[in-house]
Amino acid sequence: MTDGIMSMKYEFFSWRGFFIGAASIALVLVIQSYVSFPVGWVERAVPFAFHVVGSSLIVGIVSGSVLVFLFPPQQDVIGLAGLGSDDATQH
């Protein structure tokens, strides 16, 4: 494995994944709203901004948590967390 993956072996949440997911959805929502209905920013800017922030938080949390499945932590950490172990050598 590469050094980058090895350094993330003990992570159960990735802040990098969170910020990438949150920034991506915020950018997409803002661009889409300016193209589709620019009047919404003039009439209801504050509620729409709260919608963008809320959506960014949700997508960011999911994006940060998914790295658990992409780069699974070491088996000892999984066992300590109560998630079990699929490593036959530890039985």
pLDDT digits 0-9 by tens, 36-83: 888 888 888 899 899 999 999 999 888 887 655 555 555 555 554 555
Amino acid 78: pLDDT: 52
Cα separation, 3 vs 6, in Å, equals 5
* Pairwise pLDDT comparison (71 vs 24), residue with the higher score: 24
CA 5, CA 7: separation in Å to the nearest integer?
5
Tell me how far apart the alpha carbons of residues 75 and 91 are, in angstroms, rounded to a whole number. 12
Name the band, by pLDDT with cuts 50, 70 and 90, for residue 87: low
Contacts of 33 (CB under 8 A, 6+ apart): 40, 41, 48
**Would you call 36 exposed, middle or buried from its count of C-beta atoms within 10 A (0-12, 13-18, 19+)?**
exposed
Identify the CA nearest to 30 among candidates 60, 56, 58: 56
Better-scored residue on pLDDT, 87 or 38 = 38
CB 81, CB 39: distance < 8 Å: no
To the question of pTM greater than 0.75 for the whole model, the response is no
Q: Which pLDDT does position 7 carry in this prediction?
A: 59
